[in-house]
Chain A
Amino acid sequence: MTAPTREVLLLDDDRWDRVLLATKGEAAACYQCGTCTATCPWGLVAGPSIGVRSVMRRAQLGIDGWAEAVWRCTTCGACEEHCPHEVPISDVMLGLRSLAWEERSVPHGLSGVLWDMHWDGNPWGRPPSARSAWANGLDIPRFDATKHSVLLYVGCTASYDRRGQKIARAVVSVLRAAGISFGTLGDEEPCCGDPARSLGNEEYFKRIAQANSHKLAAERATDVVTVSPHCYDTFTHYPGIGEAFRVRHYSQLLRDLVAERKVSFAGLEPTKVTFHDPCYLARHHDETEAPRTIMAAIPGVSIEEMERSREETLCCGGGGGRMWMETLPEDRFATSRAREAAGTGASYLVTTCPHCISCLEDGASVAGARNLKVMDLAELAVLAGIGAAAPTEASR
């Protein structure tokens, strides 16, 4: 290990090359203005803020401790929104994680997540034979391209996590109400590879993506709909995306159904809701209107926006593989987020991501926001009595 002495300031060419390679040269555009550091949500909590420019500098110089900040990054992209040189900072962080693996500067437990993916096909270390247990009693057909238009990709968290399972079941109710013909891959559904990618093992991710692309092709699945924004984002990094198949988050499909008046809602008693934009929709994919279009179509629902909304959303803390790392209570963004949500006077804090739900429910509990119910948009849709659209006046 190199000590931070004056000597190391004489840059080691080999190390410089490794940093450039790991970050695909993207960091070269950084001119050290520090906007990233100022916008990082770590500045809101007790823990030290991530100075992206200093992380880069330290990694290049091989100074101890650079990896610690790289692992704290949630890849929320808040910094990227404001970076004057449009450096893809999240990708740079993931690249630096690959360097951290090489140097074995990795938080405890993350090797185990990758091993679980290898042996069990999911990052939770659960048996593949239990993957479709979430759907017990729902009688969901195995996807068959000759019968189904949509392949519902459930994802590991919605398959195995009890809270996530409820979201998956709500999404199924939504699709059924809209009369969409769909199937799942059942116990054969593979992990999309998000944990490998977000934990910085690009090589492993590429192999998973390759294998899954072949599988999707063999299934002749052309229209993939996901429960989680993380799976959705991950599929967009697959070879063949946009050609062999397209991928949508379920909220995007539902938005289209609402716009085309194929579904309607019975409605709720007058209810204030606020919406938490998941980073992987709002910032990484510029998708902020779909959930609002859907909620606006629910009679009785009024939307109380939080100050930090849409592309200015505040990360829940669960992205970038942080779901598999511990965050001390005083460092959880979700606590401050739950307070912000409670401050709008909303009774429901709605979002569209299983990781956000998990973090926000924890945040609401830590913040003592007892009157705030955290729910997925699909659950709100079911609660509001989603159904096939009533015949219009004209057609009567």
Chain B
Amino acid sequence: MTRELHTLVCLKVVPKSEEVGVDRETNTLDRANARSEINPPDMNALETALALKDRFGGRVSLMSMGPPFVIPTLRVGLAMGADHAYLLSDRAFGGADTLATSLTLARAIEKLGDVDLVLCGEESSDGATAQVPPGIATWMDIPQATYAMDVDFEPGQRHLVVTREVRDGEEVLDVPLPAVVSVKVSCNEPRFMDTGRFALLDNEELVTTWTADDLGVDREHLGLAGSPTSVAGLKEAAQASGRRRELVSGTPEEEGKILYERIIEFLRGAGTRGQEAPG
């Protein structure tokens, strides 16, 4: 008899993109007025996990790194059908880049001991690096499959069949477990939560909080201290607060010309930087 599948989903609680700006005085991120949500592709990862659970049974755990105030948002994942949530919360985790973040998550997953499949969203809406899933896989020294559109499981063989998106098409991978899989945003439709369960969940029972000491990782390898990269500067992109609504007018020919210039500028990345377009 094969052991039941234990899937762990990494969820990141992020501020809603449209409500984050840059504080012009301190040049730091201003999230004061931002509402939180679960990073959208992470919702797709959770739906993938729950769909596997519907078909093959097993357990789904959630893991998130963040301050205790994200617990109410994690409850959403539990109300969708996850069995337990682990919150990694410690000042020592703060300021982590992808290297330190993926190390922290990997060590926490290893502490659970019996995780077969780690599911993540392709990237986070705040950092947008897409490097944490490969990072976790590397720290754990297990295979990875990223940008998955579809994840199927062969219970007898404990393999996944993953259809993933690559540059000019799709690739179907055979992935032995344990493995890390990241899924594309909107690859499925996350089920709506059970609002009755959402209201009645017992945080004490269903959410376990771990600190740096629980993970037994050298504090020098965590958070800001363990991050080789640092932020040298920060600024708000032009379209940060709503749409720009710039009016372009002239003869149709002039409008076409200006439009062309704006489009090329934007596509070369200059549109958000206010620099001169190369070429």
Residues of A bordering B, CB below 8 Å: 101, 104, 108-109, 111-112, 114-115, 118-119, 127-129, 201, 203-204, 207
Q: Which residues of A contact B194 (CB under 8 A)?
A: 203
B111 within 8 A of A: no
B231 within 8 A of A: no
B16 within 8 A of A: yes
Contact B16 A108 (CB under 8 A): no
In whole angstroms, what is the CA distance A104 to B189 when docked? 11
CB within 8 Å for A203 and B191 given contacts A119-B37, A127-B16: no
Contact B19 A114 (CB under 8 A): no
Contact B196 A111 (CB under 8 A): no
Q: Which residues of A contact B76 (CB under 8 A)?
A: 118
B94 within 8 A of A: no
Contact A203 B195 (CB under 8 A): yes
In whole angstroms, what is the CA distance A114 to B190 when docked? 11
State the interface size on chain B (CB cutoff 8 A). Answer: 17
Contact B195 A201 (CB under 8 A): yes
Mask, B188-210, CB within 8 Å of A = 1, is 01111111100100000000000
Nearest residue (CB) in A for B33 is A129
A-B contact pairs, 8 of them (CB 8 A): A104-B191, A108-B189, A115-B190, A119-B35, A127-B16, A128-B35, A203-B195, A207-B195
Tell me how far the C-beta of B243 lies from the nearest C-beta in chain A, rounded to whole angstroms: 11
Tell me how far the C-beta of B40 lies from the nearest C-beta in chain A, rounded to whole angstroms: 10
Q: Which residues of B contact A119 (CB under 8 A)?
A: 16, 35, 37
Q: Which residues of B contact A111 (CB under 8 A)?
A: 189-192
Interface of A is mostly: helix
Contact B18 A203 (CB under 8 A): no
Contact B35 A114 (CB under 8 A): no
Checking A115, A127, A207 against B199 with a beta-carbon cut-off of 8 angstroms, the contacting residue is A207
Q: Which residues of A contact B193 (CB under 8 A)?
A: 118
Nearest residue (CB) in A for B43 is A115
CB within 8 Å for A115 and B35 given contacts A129-B19, A207-B199: no
CB within 8 Å for A203 and B19 given contacts A111-B189, A115-B190: no
Tell me how far the C-beta of B124 lies from the nearest C-beta in chain A, rounded to whole angstroms: 16
Contact A127 B195 (CB under 8 A): no
Q: Which residues of A contact B199 (CB under 8 A)?
A: 207
Known: A111-B192, A128-B35. 20 other contacts (CB 8 A): A109-B189, A111-B189, A111-B190, A114-B192, A115-B43, A115-B190, A115-B192, A118-B192, A118-B193, A119-B37, A127-B16, A127-B18, A129-B19, A129-B33, A201-B192, A201-B195, A203-B194, A203-B196, A204-B195, A207-B199
Nearest residue (CB) in B for A101 is B192
Q: Which residues of B contact A114 (CB under 8 A)?
A: 192
Q: Which residues of A contact B196 (CB under 8 A)?
A: 203
Tell me how far the C-beta of B11 lies from the nearest C-beta in chain A, rounded to whole angstroms: 14
Q: Which residues of B contact A101 (CB under 8 A)?
A: 192
CB within 8 Å for A112 and B189 given contacts A119-B35, A119-B37, A127-B18: yes
Nearest residue (CB) in A for B199 is A207
B43, B191, B195: most-surrounded residue (chain A CB, <10 A): B195
In whole angstroms, what is the CA distance A204 to B35 when docked? 21
- Which are the 8 A-B pairs with shortest beta-carbon distances? A114-B192, A204-B195, A111-B192, A119-B37, A203-B196, A111-B189, A207-B195, A203-B195
